[in-house]
């Protein structure tokens, strides 16, 4: 396997670089988008993301979603609390087999628990590496 394409975006590389309230599901907020250039098939697109979150009130969970060209391809749930473990950096890794062309991958977040208040504070990073055999 070899890397044939790579792209990354860093919305903010630091904690407290942003203050993005996490909305209640089914609303979500987009955090970052990266474009992957897929030259051929077979291929694998490896997506990596890091997101810093602060729990402001309550205990509950948030849902991260990854979209390719507006279509959901991955989701992951993460527990958040506002007490002892108020701060977290969540790292996500996903794989996708995409058709040739340029694809927009977007990472979003939403909260699943009504009593939870959480804020994305950074860092926020998203990368896409395209591998072919």
- The CATH code for residues 2-132 is 2.60.120.40
pLDDT tens per residue, range 30-80 = 999 999 999 988 999 999 999 999 999 999 999 999 999 999 999 999 999
Verify cis geometry, omega within 30 degrees of 0, for the bond prior to 26: yes
Please tell me what DSSP assigns to residue 13: S
Structure confidence at residue 133 (pLDDT): 73
| pTM value surpassing 0.85 | yes
pLDDT at 129 over 90: yes
Structure tokens that stand for 122 in this block: 């950074």
pLDDT at 22 over 80: yes
Structure confidence at residue 131 (pLDDT): 96
pLDDT at 1 over 90: no
């Amino acid at each position: 396997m070899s890397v044939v394409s790579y792209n990354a975006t860093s919305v903010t590389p630091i904690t407290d670089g942003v203050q993005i309230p996490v909305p209640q599901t089914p609303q979500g907020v987009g955090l970052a988008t990266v474009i992957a250039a897929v030259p051929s098939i077979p291929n694998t697109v490896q997506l990596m993301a890091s997101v810093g979150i602060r729990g402001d009130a309550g205990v509950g969970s948030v849902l991260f979603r990854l979209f390719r060209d507006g279509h959901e391809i991955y989701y992951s749930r993460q527990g958040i609390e506002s007490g002892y473990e108020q701060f977290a950096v969540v790292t996500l890794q996903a794989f996708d087999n995409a058709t040739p062309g340029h694809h927009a991958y977007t990472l979003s977040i939403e909260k699943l628990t009504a009593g939870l208040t959480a804020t994305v504070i950074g860092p926020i990073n998203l990368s896409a590496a395209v591998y072919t055999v």
